[in-house]
């Protein structure tokens, strides 16, 4: 009999995100990855062309991490929540103190730091994959 319990994973990506993007419900690459209706058709999204590449890449990294989790989970009953936290916000500052984050990029999984350092997506995905697999094994 297969295990039918639903596992919840909360992935917090601590990076440098402009506060304005965090308040704009129309531009959120993670939401569009999850098929939020209308996010790709909003006129406000065209404003992202004015942002530096580093800002847009920070959102793409979060979307890539979500794709990584989807590949690992592969149909198992898992609720995955991705939270993008700006390190320069009060919440980001407190999290960096609590978890001893000294770089401008880190990933927390269920409240535990699993990656910190330069935003190297391959290393971050490897750390995330290992941590999610250990949670799935129970």
* Res. 68: pLDDT tops 50: yes
Rounded mean pLDDT, 99-103: 92
CB atoms within 10 A of CB 81: 11
Instruction: Tell me the C-alpha distance between 26 and 38, whole Å.
Output: 8
Instruction: Tell me the C-alpha distance between 77 and 95, whole Å.
Output: 29
Instruction: Tell me the C-alpha distance between 11 and 86, whole Å.
Output: 14
String of DSSP letters for 97-126: HHHT--SS-EEEETTEEEEESS--HHHHHH
pLDDT tens per residue across span 53-65: 777 777 777 778 8
Instruction: Tell me the C-alpha distance between 73 and 87, whole Å.
Output: 28
Which SS3 state, helix, strand or coil, does residue 86 take?
Answer: strand
- Domains detected in the chain: 7-137 (3.40.30.10)
CA angle 66, 68, 70 (to 5 degrees): 70
Count how many residues are written for the chain: 138
* Res. 112: pLDDT tops 90: yes
CB 33 within 8 A of CB 63: yes
Rounded mean pLDDT, 124-128: 88
User: Model's pTM, two decimal places?
Assistant: 0.73
pLDDT tens per residue across span 2-49: 556 788 888 898 988 765 555 555 445 444 444 443 444 444 455 666
């Amino acid at each position: 009999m297969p295990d039918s319990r639903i596992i919840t994973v909360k992935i917090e990506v601590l990076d440098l995100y402009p506060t304005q993007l965090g308040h704009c419900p129309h531009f959120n690459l993670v939401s569009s990855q999850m098929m939020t209706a209308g996010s790709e058709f909003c006129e406000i999204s065209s404003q992202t062309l004015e942002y530096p590449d580093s800002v847009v890449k920070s959102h793409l990294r979060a979307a890539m991490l979500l794709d990584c989790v989807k590949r690992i989970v592969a149909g198992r009953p898992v609720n995955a929540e991705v939270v993008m936290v700006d390190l320069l916000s009060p919440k980001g500052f407190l999290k960096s103190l609590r978890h001893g984050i000294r770089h401008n990029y880190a990933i927390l999984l269920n409240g535990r730091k699993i990656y910190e350092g330069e935003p190297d997506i391959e290393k971050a995905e490897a750390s995330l994959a290992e941590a999610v697999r250990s949670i799935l094994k129970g």
